[in-house]
Amino acid sequence: MKHLLKMMDLSGEEIIELLNLADQLKYEQKHGIKHHHLAGKTLGMIFQKSSTRTRVSFETGMYQLGGSALFLSSRDLQIGRGEPVEDTARVLSRYLDGIMIRTFAQQEVVDLATYGSIPIINGLTDYAHPCQVLADLMTVREYKGKLEGLKMCYIGDGNNMANSLIVGGIKTGMRVAAATPQIHRPAEDVVAFAQQSGDFLLTEDVMEAAAGADVIFTDVWASMGQEQEAEERRRIFGGVYQVNDKLLGVANADAMVQHCLPAHRGEEITAEVFEAHANEIFDEAENRLHAQKAVMVKLMG
DSSP characters over 68-131: EEEEEETTTSGGGGT--HHHHHHHHHHH-SEEEEE-S-HHHHHHHHHH-SS-EEEEE-SS--HH
Q: Does residue 132 have an active-site annotation?
A: yes
Write the CB contacts of 245 (distance below 8 Å, at least 6 apart in sequence): 270, 272, 273
Write the CB contacts of 62 (distance below 8 Å, at least 6 apart in sequence): 38, 41, 42, 43, 68, 69, 296
**Average confidence (pLDDT) over 244-261:** 98
Q: Does residue 129 have an active-site annotation?
A: yes
> Quick one: which H or E segment has residue 221?
none
Q: How many CA atoms lie within 13 A of 158 on its CB side?
A: 19
- Top pLDDT among 74 and 301 is at 301
Pick out the residues of the known binding site: 51-54, 78, 102, 129-132, 160, 219, 223-224, 260-261, 288
Catalytic residue, chosen from 129, 141, 259, 290, is: 129
How far apart, in Å, do the first and last CA atoms of the chain sit? 12
**Average confidence (pLDDT) over 20-31:** 98
Pick out the residues of the known binding site for L-ornithine: 160, 219, 223-224
Q: Does residue 219 have an active-site annotation?
A: yes
User: In a 3-state reduction of DSSP, which class is residue 47?
Assistant: strand
**Average confidence (pLDDT) over 251-280:** 98
Pick out the residues of the known binding site for carbamoyl phosphate: 51-54, 78, 102, 129-132, 260-261, 288
Percentage of residues in the chain with pLDDT exceeding 90?
Answer: 89
Query: Does the pLDDT of residue 80 top 60, yes or no?
Result: no
Catalytic residue, chosen from 102, 141, 175, 233, is: 102
Say how far apart CA 23 and CA 290 lie, in whole Å. Answer: 7
Query: Does the pLDDT of residue 81 top 90, yes or no?
Result: no
Say how far apart CA 117 and CA 91 lie, in whole Å. Answer: 10
Query: Does the pLDDT of residue 258 top 90, yes or no?
Result: yes
| Res 78: pLDDT | 67
Query: Does the pLDDT of residue 225 top 80, yes or no?
Result: no
Summarised one tens digit per residue, pLDDT across range 135-149 is 999 999 999 999 999
Q: Does residue 288 have an active-site annotation?
A: yes
User: In a 3-state reduction of DSSP, which class is residue 46?
Assistant: strand
